[in-house]
Structure formats: structure tokens, C-alpha cells
Amino acid sequence: MNLKFLSLNIGVMLLSVEAGAQQRFVDVDALIARMSLEEKIGQMTQIDLGVIARGSICNLEKPQNLDSQKLTTAISMYHIGSVLNVGCGSGAMSLERWRSIVRQIHRENQRLSRLNIPIIYGIDAIHGANYTLGSTLFPQQIGLAATWDTALVRKVFAASAYETRAAGTPWNFSPVLDLARQPLWSRFFETFGADVHLSSSMATAAIKGLQGDNPASPYHVAACMKHFLGYGFPLSGKDRTPAWIPDRELRAYFAPPFQAAIKQGAMSVMINSGAINGIPVHANADIMSGLLRREMGFEGVAISDWEDIQKLLNVHHVAADLKDAVRMSIEAGLDMSMTPNDFAFCDLLAELVREGRISERRLDSSVRRILIMKARLGLFDTTIFGDEIYPDFGSEKHKNLSFEAAAASLTLLKNNADVLPLKNKERVFVCGPAAHSMHLLNGAWSRTWQGNDTSFHHDNRKTIAASLRNYLGPERVLDDAACADRKSLLRMAAKSDKIVVCLAEDPGTEIPGNIDDLNLPRAQQELVTALSKLGKPIILVCCFGRPRIIHETAKQAEGILYAYLPGDEGGRAIAACITGRINPSGRLPFTYPRTANEFVNYDHTASEEIHTDFSNTAYRPEFDFGAGLSYTRFRCDTMVVSQEALGDGDSVEVRVQISNTGNKSGTETVQLYYRDPVASITPAVKKLIAFRKISLEPQTRGTLRFVLYKEDFALVNRNLKKIAEPGIITLQVDRFKHDINIH
């Protein structure tokens, strides 16, 4: 039996009975009735670990330790309800240290607080419990999206939840549900890509994995879908700069992944730091209350992003002073402030209530949502579980899951003359920035915020070069490690049969991750150009968080393997792919731009195809959305549609037969698109509506079945209503097209 809510007129009673685990009732409204104003405001306050740790803000003692006086102030004077993060400016801690710190916070809260409302610890476990030493680092989300495998992605998020809860941190600021439609954006890698349907499908999988059927279990956490919304589409491509997104596009593109997460029961949301159409989202009631709650039905906790109330004053300049900023964000619908470095929020909100400018009743609605989240997590019963129940923390089992996900993400974009996989006895020369690196495989949010502290990434047994050596033996793998200069590198490369160049970009996220030029860094371009003069086949391995422009460099390569940011097991997965132990099956979750100024996504409109010569050839990405090759060959044989018409309550079945005509087993992702030739809104030339993977042995075939409903073809119209308009829709799989009539 899972969680059941009994909503009574005296408030919300929570009855949570999980097999064998009886949790006590939490009468949220009765608890609120007993709370002082300051205690209510405390529940709405989240502080960084640094505020209660030894050392100064963003310059803490290492490793992190609590400061008992600061902790006493936070609990006794400010009644804080939440702590977050690993400590601004600090790096990952051991599992033991995490558990000790979390236990001490709970112990002091029990000793000092009047009502003993549990403090909830929030953390960014972005690709595994990245701030806990020894945890499993999985591929970043963009690579998970490239697997097109929602069942696998759900397992990854479940394993991440397991290792996150083990540390006593039951609230994960994940998943990122922003759409990556601006390749310059520094957080492109944190998303599930550019497509509405793929991102929405992955959002559902992520929430299922993180929260499970009962978030009170020791192996699940509260998810926090972020950053609501439109954060990933800044005009300039620079993080936290203005986005101009009309209401219709906001609902047609950027809201659906969050809607999918809400439908799956996401327990919290983090608000976008930026501004949309000139209004900071943290001060926009139309978005935070209108769209998020009334239109989309979200009932969970809305937390700010880092210092975003202060940013209304000092970045967006819409508030005259901090008190005004507090008022604006609370009136707009914010539940909790990630302050996170001081208590000004508490003092100012108390003033606003005492002055009658914010009602205490308004605070009650936020406190209720926060207490319900804590109760659903079982925190009133168990704030931290015994470490003996986490045997899989950092286990081989989780590492192998990370390897499986990394392997499934690898996207083969070019394979001229079957240059890959390597053939028997071929010698390979490995070079490039990512060849001997672990931190370049992980990217940001890896042991430190920016992921660039290599002291945390010392497991050099698992780099791409080391992994290739493990598979092929030292005699077949040459590398650039001992090459002091370009001349010696070329001399070494000349001894090989094929050359693998491991390209990368510096780890980085948010504003530190901003770049001015999407082109592959010049030094890497020059390296490939120099190697190309040797006349040996070159294979590029791209460990990128965002699609760096490789148009000229790609011409110099016979093979291109796009690896995204594949995590700690990425080196092993890349080597397994290059040596043929795995057959790549990843498919691009975004449109790969050909030049640094062509940001046209695959679901563009007809007008974006008109070339300078007025032909319809302007859309020419380097690689298309959904692209990816295999070491075998797949052929779509037939597409059969069950009926020609689709009305209310109807469904249409689409059967697609696929053959593996090659000599290796492999996995294909069948993608079902549609085109609306005429609509009340300028229609996209194609849009993904369904996808499914199929694994086939050589010379075998299989059939996939899709069932579609009229509402699957709905668009957001001029009146912001989601409707499926009557008319012809063209379904497309591979080269097959079939019209159906929506009525």
C-alpha cells in the first residue's frame, strides 16, 4: 500500500503505510496553528551549509565542519527549515562526513527547536550524488537523453536517488527540464535536449526514478524540477540573460516537460533565475502562480534559485530595496527562499507581515506545502537511515549501470569505410585533451560546482586511453602522454594505423560556463589538422557538453563518435565502442549546428528552409536531430497505419517493421514524426510524437507498435488553448509517410 492522502476539513492528514513501515500521522494544519510567525518564516528559509559551518562564507574550513554556535543561531533564532549544498566554494565530502553533519543538524534541531519540525537538506545530485566522495558519477542528462531509453534513465535516477538519500540528503535539485534550444548556453549538458516530446518522456522517467512510488522509502528523494521556465533560451546564449518567449511558445515548448513531471508527481520546483519578456520569473505571479499552479496544477513546493530574491534588486533592478524584493517574490507565489548566505529574508518577511503588507495566511499556504513535502518524505519519523542499508553506494552494480548508460548514449555520427570498430591487430594512437582525463568526461557538478578541480578526479585507470589499453593491450595503444611537443606527437602518431583524437571543452556551468564562440577551440582544430597530414584515418571522440562547431574538423575525420559528458565510466564505454565490444546506439537529442550562427532546430518552420537562392535547402545542420549510426545496418521495411481518420476518443495504431540487414546485433531507435501541413499557427516541418527502441540480431526483423490519440497532435493556439485542430496530419517514419485525417 502506498501513500494515501486523507484531506479532512481540519487540514491534511497523511496516512503513509508502506509494507511493514507504519509512519505516524502528521496533522499539518494543526502543526501550523501552533507555529509562531518566526517559525513559519523559518520553514520558508533555506541556508547554505556555509552559514552553519566553520570558516567564512565561500571559504570554509576543509573538510567542512559544523560550527555549533552558528548552528544554534540558525535553529534557535531563525528556526530554519532547510539547508543546502556542500558549502559554497567547497568540494565533495565523504559519505561518513555527510552523515555526521546531517545527524548533528537533526540532533541540534531536536534539542533546540520548540516543535521539532525536521530540517530538510537539499543537494544538487546532478549526475549521481556528485558531492559525495566515492559515489557513482553517471552520464550528464544530455547523454541520458541520447539513449532514448526511458527505462534505463529511470534506473539511473533511481540509483542517483539511492546514493543521495544515503548521505541524509532527501531533496535533490534535479532534474533539469529546461529545453536546450540555444547551443551556446552553458547548461545545455544539464538538459534532456531540444525536443519537447523526448524531454517530456525523460522528465517522467526521472521523477519516477527519483521519487519512486513512495518518497519516504530510504532509497528515494523529493525531486525538484528546474528551472521553471524558459531558462535555457536566453537571447544572447549567456546564462541568466533575458529570454523573450511569448506566452504561446512558453506553453508550446518550455512548459510540457514540467507538465509531464507534475503529472508524475514532482514534489518541488526551482524557479528560473532569469527574466522572461522583461519580467524576472521570481517576481512574476502570472508564471509562478498563474501558469505553474492554476494552469498546470502544480501543488508542490516552489523554491527560489540561489540568491534570487536579492537578484531582483541587484541584477534585475525591479525592486527598490531587499524588503521590496521579498514582498514581490512572496506575492508572486514563492514558497521558500534559497537565501542562502544570510537571514535578511527572515527579518524582512517578518516586518512585511507585521506591517500588514503580506498576510500570515499567505505564509501558511507556503508552510503547508513545505510540511507536506517533509511528511511525504517521512522526515517526521526518520531523518536519516542507517548506513548499513546502503550496500550499493558506489558499488560495482551502480558503476556498471553508469557504464551501460554511457555506452547507450554514445552516438556514432560518421563512420566512413567502417573505420570503426578497430580491426584486429590495428594499432591506435590516442591523443587530445580528453584522452587522459576524468574531469573532462564528467563536466561541471562533479565533486565541485564547476567540476574543474582535478584533485578529485585521480582515478586515471579509467580514462579513454587507459581503457583502450585495458582492452587492446599496451602494444596496440600508443598515446601522447610522453610527447613533449607537436613534433614528437606526430612522430608517435605515424607509428599507428588509426588515430583517435579525444576532443573536449573545459568543464563549466552557469555564468562561469559562458562562452563567446561555439567553434571548437582553435588548439584542438589545429591538432586535428596537423594529424590529418599523416594520411591515417582519424576518429574524433567528442566529449562536449554542448555541440561545438566541428564543420571543418569533421572533414578531416573518417569517424566521429559523440560522447557528450559520459561520466566516470565514460572512458570504459568509449573504448568498448571503439574496439567493437559494444555497438553504438545513441541518437542526437538536439540539432547539431553546422556553423556558429545557425541555431535552427529540426522542428523549425518552412520559412526557415528558404535558402538565398529561394530553394528549400537552408536547413543544413551538421547532423540532424535523432541522427546516429550503428556498426550494423537497419532498414525500415513497412509502416502500416490502422485507419485514415482520428476523432475524439479514437486511436490509430502504427506498425513499423524494421530489419537488421547487417552482420552484427544492434539497437535501433525508431522515431515517429508528424507534420501538420496547415494549422492556425505556423506549423513545424516535423515534430517527434513517439519513439521506441528495438534490438535485433543480424538478419532478423521486428515490428514496433505505436498507438496515437487525437490529443497527441494538439497544438497551443492563439488563445493559448491546447487543441488538436481538424485536418490532415502526415505521419512519418524514416522514408515512409502516411496521412490521417483529424476530425
Catalytically active residues, by annotation: 305
Nearer to ligand GLC, 239 or 569 (CB): 239
Nearer to ligand GLC, 546 or 710 (CB): 546
Among 49, 52, 119, 124, binds ligand GLC (CB under 6 A): 124
Residues binding ligand GLC: number (CB under 6 A): 9
CB of 124 to ligand GLC, least distance (A): 5
Among 40, 155, 226, 436, binds ligand GLC (CB under 6 A): 226
Check binding of 335 to ligand GLC (CB under 6 A). no
Q: What angle separates helix 570-578 from helix 464-472, to the nearest 10 degrees?
A: 50
Site string for ligand GLC, 244-273 (x = CB under 6 A): --------------------------x---
C-alpha separations of 53 from 20, 88, 362, 392, 666 in Å? 38, 11, 32, 29, 52
Task: Using DSSP bridges, classify how beta strands 82-84 and 120-123 pair: parallel, antiparallel or unpaired.
Answer: parallel
Nearer to ligand GLC, 40 or 226 (CB): 226
**Among the listed residues 204, 198, 307, 308, the one whose alpha carbon sits nearest the alpha carbon of residue 253:** 198
CB of 158 to ligand GLC, least distance (A): 20
Among 43, 85, 402, 671, binds ligand GLC (CB under 6 A): 85
- Distance from C-alpha of 57 to C-alpha of 388, rounded to nearest angstrom: 34
Q: Which of residues 288-307 bind ligand GLC (CB under 6 A)?
A: 305-306
Contact 220, 211 (CB under 8 A): yes
CB of 239 to ligand GLC, least distance (A): 9
Residue 336: partners with Cβ closer than 8 Å, 6 or more residues away: 43, 44, 45, 46, 81, 82, 301, 302, 303, 304, 366, 370
b/e map of 283-309 (b: 16 or more CB within 10 Å)?
bbbbbbbebbbeebebebbbbbbbbbb
- Distance from C-alpha of 408 to C-alpha of 405, rounded to nearest angstrom: 5
| DSSP assignments along 403-421, one per residue | HHHHHHH-EEEEEGGG--S
CB of 67 to ligand GLC, least distance (A): 21
Residues pairing with 657 in the sheet? 638, 703
In this structure, which amino acid lies at residue 94?
S
Q: Which of residues 481-510 bind ligand GLC (CB under 6 A)?
A: 510
CB of 257 to ligand GLC, least distance (A): 15
CB of 48 to ligand GLC, least distance (A): 8
HSE, side-chain direction, 13 A CA sphere, residue 209 = 27
Nearer to ligand GLC, 188 or 602 (CB): 188
Nearer to ligand GLC, 141 or 467 (CB): 141
Q: Which of residues 702-731 bind ligand GLC (CB under 6 A)?
A: none
Q: Where do we find the cell 556498426?
A: 631
CB of 134 to ligand GLC, least distance (A): 21
Task: Using DSSP bridges, classify how beta strands 45-48 and 55-56 pair: parallel, antiparallel or unpaired.
Answer: unpaired
**Among the listed residues 542, 531, 318, 547, the one whose alpha carbon sits nearest the alpha carbon of residue 414:** 542
In a 10 Å sphere around its CB, with 0-12 CB exposed, 13-18 middle and 19+ buried, how is residue 465 labelled?
buried
Nearer to ligand GLC, 79 or 226 (CB): 226
SS3 of 261-299: HHHCCCCEEEECCCEECCEEHHHCHHHHHHHHHHHCCCC
| DSSP assignments along 139-181, one per residue | PPHHHHHHHT-HHHHHHHHHHHHHHHHHTT--EE---B-----
CB of 179 to ligand GLC, least distance (A): 15
Site string for ligand GLC, 510-539 (x = CB under 6 A): x-----------------------------
Site string for ligand GLC, 169-188 (x = CB under 6 A): ----x---------------
Return residues touching ligand GLC (CB under 6 A).
84-85, 124, 173, 226, 270, 305-306, 510
